[in-house]
Structure 1
């Protein structure tokens, strides 16, 4: 009953406000009380993310305060010189309040803070950390999660999300804070008067937008033909509206229509229960507009504008939401082929993707003589590679993950939907100028490299029991997996927790040179594969699938069969 002790300690604390206590007293479901207090909200490699509410396992000013106090103490102990932190926030419920609470906490610890005047995209925070030479950054966001969630992402001085080693060190400081009395704070007016709190805005915006514009590859094409492109864009009630409209306008894309019903920032996401551009439903209003406008491209960005989804018209005239893998493949090919055509493709160029992302990127990179590197799931690992490349004189060209995250350039160290939007518009304009749609370009890639099809499904397993079931399922698959799936041999098993890849044909093992993670990947004889891992941000187990077909129909049929076979295996693992 340890959770009950924690519950009553909050009710008895003089440092917990009356409104918070009232929320807790009104809880009638014992399971709800347990879920709120059975553990601390986990500080993972990206920071915190959880449902907004009172309790140790929720996002609130107390859990934010504890995390920030720990972060502040870590920074003060790590750096001898003056420490500064940049803070940004999105349109979610309580984002501004959490951002200001974090700023006031850091100022009370004598740390200089640069706080944005209003909401900004996550990638702009990444840029700002480097631009202002800060030692860390914080973004208050839960990315594309439903409205009841919020989060707290921490960035290092390189502008990338903190990775495993730094996160563990920060967590050790957070765990040492045992009482709310150890959390320092001051009010926001005191913070401003102290000179420690600095409000930032237009100067950063301008510098960032100029950097994004510089990433244009075919500058003459964009300068001369940008106004030919018809675009519909939806910010899905998030932070992308200002920067994306601004950069496209300055590049000359005049024919841009905004989905008015989704234009204004709103943390309740009234038109989208799940504000995720991976979800086709978020484009319903845009698709109604498309009947009249007939755009060349439709795209939408998630609340913190680090992910982007695009919609294109297929050969039958139907609009399709492309997958993250499809958009990533198109961008990889466009960037590499354009650089080669313009004699700008460096010999030491590198493309980076995650282990759950389509292998078509490897085929494309190989054709252009470009190295491709796989990293663990999470864009933080792509950002980490950019830093490595600076030290060994390799040139980062492009990175992407299947979950709609893309990045070109090295001035941002996280996925960036503002950058992606400008490159997607340029790419669409290029193919339009050749008399092709983006869908036709995608079909051309499939004809050349094979008809790749990928899919993701998730199992939601909430609470303590759910976490235990996920752990048991992974252990079953790790040690008791069959040798075939649907009659096809498994030829490789990669265990990222044990850092071992087993070749089951030649019976040999090799070391996986990546951080340890509780992830398994099984590759079959026909080059299909599946990956299973626990979500780092939600109470879910995620399963990624990939097959290669001879044509679209064949790939679709193979995926249906493969998905059912894998689901049967996962069901057995969950009930072992």
Structure 2
């Protein structure tokens, strides 16, 4: 069937509720919107499902989520009786429909005889990962669209290690989704009935308490300046309670919270796009920080798996630090301090993605720590921790990627902004006691290791035409690479689509110049964007910025030439 026929089917089938039909009637004269909603079904990948809320096969709604939940149930049954008995841990964020989708998952699992364990209220993504491991579940579900705008939601699937599913499991789930031709075939019982039967269970408070203990065990130094002043915003998401609780237990009492962004708000009214990767997310925090003389400002995204940072400079203004700079600082602090305390494990490893900067690699090398690279995504980064559990050949210490995701330790196998927020505050307090800001420390790092700089450019292209143009851009760069940019000469090209080392194939291109600078290009896996990552090395900031400008200009011209 074409998209118009599928639209008519949804509109005229009594199975779909009145809310759905009203939504569909509201777009009856908008051909482009009808096409976008029905030209394909949401595809289940390693990131699960993600899309705009609304009626349609290409939208997040209870029918598409129901297909995904039943497909996960069938996949668990494929893995045997033990998998069914171990069940699924579930959490959800503050977004519209998140609680509904989480409870629907419990209802569908119960209809298949599969146990579920669900948090009673909003909880961060890392706590979902932790619950899977703590409760020995076979799988997990986190209902979230992370940092996407308010009209989005998502459905992330996890496997028994507590990390996001890889291609093999994603393929099995996608296959079972394809088998569901009629939505009427999705089995479900009421959520309250699932609770009464014992198949659905609320997660005990002791699990959360054990998580806090694990986070506190990451502490490296107690002898820090606990009078440090911290401005904090959860951006109306799930981080408000756990981050403040862990900082309180850690002894940091001067925590100032942005009141307008303190409590859950699925509209993200004060920020719109709740992505702390962008400095504008700190607008309210900066005002609060100046009013209270805060040393640093930290911000979490709505599902609290990522953390961003601003640091006050000598003029009293706040300087935004991107994920590469935060990662370099954390690497330096963790590795130097643990080395000094002589408590690094044998064969220690830092894991980072292929589009993350190399400053941390230089730092790790100094302290005898191997750097291992993976494809983007914490399913791959924490996948290395899972691998080392099996082989015992190496020990995962710290992992991160440039998009402000960090994982220190292994009790959680995904990005964890609760633990990362604690470590950032500890780090800032440690250096404050030495009379240094984190900007001072970063400059010390540059002086020792060289001036590494970076820039990310994202081009948003929505809809069918946008996706096709992104594909054409990738092919243009693939077929006609930039051989010189200014005085920089191309040295090496890696096309991850062809396969590289033992990496799974991915549509990503990486270009290395002879001076050590490089850039990478890839379509986003979760948003309608093409992303350009640019990295330079210079003798000072001026030279590094000049190189960034040259590479960006050349790449933008090439991207703009593709229509």
Q: Do the two structures share a fold, i.e. TM-score over 0.5?
A: yes
Residue 99 of structure 1 corresponds to: 102
How far off its partner does 1:201 sit?
4.6
Residue 505 of structure 1 corresponds to: none
Task: Assess if the C-alpha contact under 8 Å between 1:76 and 1:83 holds in 2.
Answer: no
Residue 196 of structure 2 corresponds to: 193
Query: Partners in 1 of 2:310 and 2:57 — Cα distance?
Result: 40
Query: Partners in 2 of 1:35 and 1:4 — Cα distance?
Result: 11
Q: Deviations over 1:526-571 (max 9, x none)?
A: 2111111111111111111111122222222221222111211222
How far off its partner does 1:315 sit?
4.0
Task: Assess if the C-alpha contact under 8 Å between 1:486 and 1:565 holds in 2.
Answer: no
Q: Deviations over 1:363-390 (max 9, x none)?
A: 1111111100010011110111001111
- Map of 1:267-416 to 2, 5 A cutoff? 267-393=266-392, 394-416=394-416
Residue 43 of structure 1 corresponds to: 44
Task: Assess if the C-alpha contact under 8 Å between 1:115 and 1:200 holds in 2.
Answer: yes
Kindly indicate whether residue 483 of structure 2 is the aligned counterpart of residue 494 of structure 1: no
Residue 247 of structure 1 corresponds to: 246
Residue 258 of structure 1 corresponds to: 257
Task: Assess if the C-alpha contact under 8 Å between 1:347 and 1:370 holds in 2.
Answer: no
Two-structure CA RMSD over aligned residues (Å): 1.2
SS of the equivalent of 1:523 reads strand
Q: Deviations over 1:200-247 (max 9, x none)?
A: 2522210100000000011x315xx42x22111111100001111111
Query: Partners in 1 of 2:359 and 2:186 — Cα distance?
Result: 49
Residue 427 of structure 1 corresponds to: 427
SS of the equivalent of 1:497 reads helix
Query: Partners in 1 of 2:169 and 2:401 — Cα distance?
Result: 23
How far off its partner does 1:67 sit?
0.5
Task: Assess if the C-alpha contact under 8 Å between 1:496 and 1:512 holds in 2.
Answer: no
How far off its partner does 1:186 sit?
1.2
How far off its partner does 1:488 sit?
2.2
Residue 508 of structure 1 corresponds to: none
Query: Partners in 2 of 1:311 and 1:524 — Cα distance?
Result: 31
How many pairs align?
A: 559
- Map of 1:416-455 to 2, 5 A cutoff? 416-455=416-455
Query: Partners in 2 of 1:42 and 1:331 — Cα distance?
Result: 36
Moved over 4 A (4+): none
How far off its partner does 1:282 sit?
1.7
347-356 vs 548-557, which moves further: 548-557
Task: Assess if the C-alpha contact under 8 Å between 1:154 and 1:162 holds in 2.
Answer: yes
Residue 66 of structure 1 corresponds to: 67
How far off its partner does 1:317 sit?
3.4
527-536 vs 196-205, which moves further: 196-205
SS of the equivalent of 1:444 reads helix
Query: Partners in 1 of 2:556 and 2:517 — Cα distance?
Result: 15
Residue 485 of structure 1 corresponds to: 485
Task: Assess if the C-alpha contact under 8 Å between 2:53 and 2:59 holds in 1.
Answer: yes
Q: Deviations over 1:134-172 (max 9, x none)?
A: 010000000001111100000000000001121111111
1:158 is aligned, of 154, 161, 177, to: 161
203-212 vs 290-299, which moves further: 290-299
Query: Partners in 2 of 1:45 and 1:317 — Cα distance?
Result: 43
TM-score normalised by the chain length of structure 1: 0.95
Task: Assess if the C-alpha contact under 8 Å between 1:75 and 1:83 holds in 2.
Answer: no
Residue 540 of structure 1 corresponds to: 529
Residue 53 of structure 2 corresponds to: 52
Query: Partners in 2 of 1:557 and 1:486 — Cα distance?
Result: 10
SS of the equivalent of 2:400 reads strand
- Map of 1:127-276 to 2, 5 A cutoff? 127-218=130-221, 220-221=222-223, 225-226=225-226, 228-276=227-275
Residue 513 of structure 2 corresponds to: 524
Query: Partners in 2 of 1:92 and 1:308 — Cα distance?
Result: 19
Task: Assess if the C-alpha contact under 8 Å between 1:44 and 1:536 holds in 2.
Answer: no
Residue 29 of structure 1 corresponds to: 30
Task: Assess if the C-alpha contact under 8 Å between 1:135 and 1:156 holds in 2.
Answer: yes
Query: Partners in 1 of 2:192 and 2:96 — Cα distance?
Result: 22
